[in-house]
Amino acid sequence: MSKADQEQPTCTFGALLTALIFFFLAFQTNAQERCATVPYTKQLQQRNIVREDPARFEEWLQRRMSERRIRMDAQRRQATTYRVPVVVHVIHNGEPVGTGSNISDEQILSQIAVLNRDFQRLNADASNTPAAFLPVAGSLDIEFVMAKQTPEGFPTNGIVRVQGTRTEWTLNDNYELKSLSYWPAEDYLNIWVTTLASSYVGFAQFPVSDLPGLENSSTNRLTDGIVIHYDVFGSVEDGDFDLDPQYNRGRTTTHEMGHFFGLRHIWGDDEAQSDACSGTDYVDDTPNQSFSTNGCPTGTRVTCGTENMYMNFLDYTNDACMNLFTVGQVERMTTVLENSPRRASLLTSHALLDPEPVADNLGIKNIISPSPAECNASVTPVIELQNNGTNAVTSTRIRLVVDGVPVETTDFSIDIDPQETTTVSFSPQSISSGANHFLFEILLTNGVSDARANDNVREIEVIVPELIDVPFSEPFATIPPGWSINNPDGQVTWQLASAPSASPTNTAMKLNFYEYEDGRGELDLLTSPVFDLSDVPVAYISFDVAHAQFRGSTDRLRIYVLTNCDDDLFNGTVVYDKSGSALATVPSSNAPFIPSGSGDWRTEIIDLSPWLGETSVQLVFAGTNDWGNNLYIDNISVVTTADEDLALRDVMRPAPVLCENTVVPQLMIQNTGTVTITSFNINMTV
Ligand SMILES: [Zn+2]
């Protein structure tokens, strides 16, 4: 979809990361669309943006598929059942289990049963596949299995229940939602079941590829998986669940799972093109089709000169009216399963196996100290240990290695029962500015070799941030040393860009939300050096901002204040939070926004007095993407002197030509300083 066609609500559709949104039209009998998925278009690519190239991903897939065909012919198709471990995170609203969004275990298992039937073509309604399509009906020998052990190796039923921090979720909350509960995506297929805001019922993240040229694709393992609205998850075929009447047989999840393994919509996502038959799903045996199909049609439908396969799982027909994948789709999914990171690794996950209890098995659960960022020249290392075995653990020997050099090996006396935790501390270690590497390793547990090695080592890279004297003012002529950019999804992020203000050659920090089609809700952080407010009488942030909306977009800028080099935003304080029209400094624009002069900028001033006395303060400028329009910030200053500055802007009265005999003089005065002005004196001479 081109930017010009962008509508709300919508979703992103990239080669690698996609968010596939189903319009939630449960009670509309004439639903026009089930999913607002949008493809890249030639128009977007004509902007000469360096970003994901779907065609190259397809080339890679096609090449791998033909390689695989040759290999499989040679091997005469050895039977392999792909087994994929699933964890279902139920992000509920505090209801009892089995009520509302806190769906029952039985409902969850009914969805897993649907996946296994649909992918293996064991679905009862496979008999509804028209005769014309039977020759291409495919089955994938895959089994979805609820995870049998947690990341720590404890038994689990593969279901995690967490009360959400909000009552409903949008795509923009993607990161926050998934951070509530997540198991490593290399070993687990994460499915989050929750309450999605009313316009859609599911979305998935496409598989990533290691093909050269895809450097701009999302690398965010923390968001990999599928999100499904709770009342379309599960099937009425397997129980009396309170499901949406249109989407009550678990096919939303079948459809999204197809995306998770690399499938595209059967009509080729070309509805925004002038020729709706020009797109493709890159699968040979699915007929060309112009648009998505809704509802539950019968009989033959012809578009693009071919009979449409509207009962394919990658179309949008009602759950009861879809019934097949094709051989070509199965081949494509197989290629992804065997080659794509975080897909292939699922097939050998320990989560597929029953945990094998071992006697003396201590694990390092967390490194409590040092943190990824530290202010001080010395830290006292502290780690959290967990007993992952069946014996109580009374002693352990642990080695600490700093920058490759063993600095301490200690025998600790502890006393923890199975599954319990404790902490142990080491001697203070000095650290230097820049990067420092800490590695902890369990050498002995209860005086013997630890029974399982995989949880015995933890390491951390510790950064000591640079310091900056106050006051300072950063004009961003370059990206200055000491400022850091954090780009979790590896896509669009803060960059230096031309941004005319009073000077036409001015540069500023820019977030290119206009072209940030993938990854709505993604955060991009610009973090300041550390500064000291322990010995100043006042402190303020001053910065300039420029932003235009794109239609009703809600791109967002927040400023966090962090202390003590704690780089966890959740521990910070939000001192500025504007989005949409409140953030905008100019009228909404459908073109990529570039400020044209000082009139397009606004100066913001924020009081830092709550942090007076703190020795280590940092600012984080956090942009949140809504695929709207560009955001610029510039001239970030920390001011430590009270600036009392009043400006006389205009004489409103008297007017230059006056007819009355008396006049009440009126002036326009602007506070251009950094502190509140409560009184002032003005001298008037007539
Ligand atoms: Zn879809």
Render 386-424 in DSSP notation, one character per residue: EE-SSS-EEEEEEEEEETTEEEEEEEEEEEE-TT-EEEE
Please give the distance, rounded to the nearest whole angstrom, from the Cα atom of residue 82 to the centre of ligand 1.
23
Please give the distance, rounded to the nearest whole angstrom, from the Cα atom of residue 229 to the centre of ligand 1.
14
Q: Is the pLDDT of residue 559 over 80?
A: yes
How far apart, in whole angstroms, are the C-alpha atoms of residue 242 and residue 265?
28
How far apart, in whole angstroms, are the C-alpha atoms of residue 17 and residue 13?
7
How far apart, in whole angstroms, are the C-alpha atoms of residue 428 and residue 319?
61
Could you tell me if 586 and 546 are in contact, meaning their C-beta atoms sit under 8 angstroms apart? yes
Out of 52, 106, 186, 256, which one is annotated catalytic?
A: 256
> Which helix (H) or strand (E) is 229 found in, with range?
strand 226-229
Pairing state of beta strands 82-92 and 142-146? parallel
3-class DSSP assignment, residue 362 = strand
Please give the distance, rounded to the nearest whole angstrom, from the Cα atom of residue 263 to the centre of ligand 1.
9
Q: Give residue 214's pLDDT band: very low, low, confident or very high (50, 70, 90).
A: very low
Please give the distance, rounded to the nearest whole angstrom, from the Cα atom of residue 40 to the centre of ligand 1.
14
Please give the distance, rounded to the nearest whole angstrom, from the Cα atom of residue 305 to the centre of ligand 1.
23
- pLDDT, mean over the chain: 85
Q: Give residue 372's pLDDT band: very low, low, confident or very high (50, 70, 90).
A: confident
Q: Give residue 61's pLDDT band: very low, low, confident or very high (50, 70, 90).
A: low
Q: Is the pLDDT of residue 620 over 60?
A: yes
| pLDDT given at position 62 | 59
**Portion of the chain with pLDDT greater than 70, in percent:** 86
How far apart, in whole angstroms, are the C-alpha atoms of residue 315 and residue 310?
6
Could you tell me if 502 and 606 are in contact, meaning their C-beta atoms sit under 8 angstroms apart? no
Is 522 an annotated catalytic residue?
no
Q: Is the peptide bond before 587 cis (omega within 30 degrees of 0)?
A: no
| Average pLDDT of the segment spanning 120-139 | 97
Q: Give residue 40's pLDDT band: very low, low, confident or very high (50, 70, 90).
A: very low
Taking phi over 0 as left and psi of -120 to 50 as alpha, with beta for the rest, 456 belongs to: alpha
Please give the distance, rounded to the nearest whole angstrom, from the Cα atom of residue 291 to the centre of ligand 1.
13
Please give the distance, rounded to the nearest whole angstrom, from the Cα atom of residue 340 to the centre of ligand 1.
20
| Listed residue (554, 575, 555, 571) closest to 563, CA to CA | 571
Q: Is the pLDDT of residue 34 over 70?
A: no
| pLDDT given at position 24 | 28
Residues 6+ apart with CB under 8 A from 134: none
| Average pLDDT of the segment spanning 272-298 | 88
The residue ranking higher by pLDDT, 643 or 560, is 560
pLDDT single digits (tens) 528-540:
999 999 999 999 9
pLDDT single digits (tens) 472-490:
999 999 999 889 998 877 7
Q: Is the pLDDT of residue 48 over 80?
A: no
Identify the CATH class of 472-639: mainly beta
| Average pLDDT of the segment spanning 417-430 | 95
**Exposure of 347 by Cβ count < 10 A (0-12 exposed, 13-18 middle, 19+ buried)?**
middle
Please give the distance, rounded to the nearest whole angstrom, from the Cα atom of residue 283 to the centre of ligand 1.
15
Please give the distance, rounded to the nearest whole angstrom, from the Cα atom of residue 103 to the centre of ligand 1.
23
Q: Give residue 519's pLDDT band: very low, low, confident or very high (50, 70, 90).
A: low
Q: Give residue 76's pLDDT band: very low, low, confident or very high (50, 70, 90).
A: very low
Please give the distance, rounded to the nearest whole angstrom, from the Cα atom of residue 339 to the centre of ligand 1.
22
Helices (runs of H) and strands (runs of E) counted in the chain: 7, 32
How far apart, in whole angstroms, are the C-alpha atoms of residue 50 and residue 174?
24
The residue ranking higher by pLDDT, 176 or 257, is 257
Greatest alpha-carbon span in the chain: 107
Q: Is the pLDDT of residue 174 over 90?
A: no
Q: Which residues pair with 619 in a beta bridge?
A: 561
Whether ipTM > 0.90 holds is yes
| pLDDT given at position 30 | 27
| pLDDT given at position 186 | 94
Task: Give the torsion through C-alpha atoms of 146, 152, 153, 155, to 10 deg.
Answer: -50
Report the amino acid identity of residue 584: A
How far apart, in whole angstroms, are the C-alpha atoms of residue 13 and residue 15?
7
Please give the distance, rounded to the nearest whole angstrom, from the Cα atom of residue 465 to the centre of ligand 1.
44
Q: Give residue 674's pLDDT band: very low, low, confident or very high (50, 70, 90).
A: low
Please give the distance, rounded to the nearest whole angstrom, from the Cα atom of residue 33 to the centre of ligand 1.
11
- The CATH T-level fold of domain 3-71+82-351 is Collagenase (Catalytic Domain) (3.40.390)
Q: What angle do CA 298, 304, 309 make, to 5 degrees?
A: 35
**Portion of the chain with pLDDT greater than 90, in percent:** 62
Task: Give the torsion through C-alpha atoms of 513, 517, 521, 523, to 10 deg.
Answer: -50
pLDDT single digits (tens) 425-465:
999 999 988 889 999 999 999 999 999 888 899 999 998 88
Q: Is the pLDDT of residue 603 over 80?
A: yes
Structural domain 362-464, CATH architecture: Sandwich (2.60)
Query: For the chain, which residues make up each domain, given as ranges?
Result: 3-71+82-351, 362-464, 472-639, 646-686
| pLDDT given at position 270 | 75
Please give the distance, rounded to the nearest whole angstrom, from the Cα atom of residue 472 to the centre of ligand 1.
50
Q: Is the pLDDT of residue 16 over 50?
A: no
pLDDT single digits (tens) 297-345:
999 999 999 999 999 999 999 999 999 999 999 998 998 898 888 999 9
Please give the distance, rounded to the nearest whole angstrom, from the Cα atom of residue 615 to the centre of ligand 1.
51
| 3-71+82-351 and 362-464: identical CATH topology | no
pLDDT single digits (tens) 544-555:
999 999 988 999
* Both tokens assigned to 172: 């923009």
| Average pLDDT of the segment spanning 640-650 | 78
* Both tokens assigned to 467: 């310091």
| pLDDT given at position 203 | 87
Could you tell me if 336 and 204 are in contact, meaning their C-beta atoms sit under 8 angstroms apart? no
Of the given ranges (216-230, 354-368, 394-408), which has the lowest mean pLDDT? 216-230
Please give the distance, rounded to the nearest whole angstrom, from the Cα atom of residue 623 to the centre of ligand 1.
28
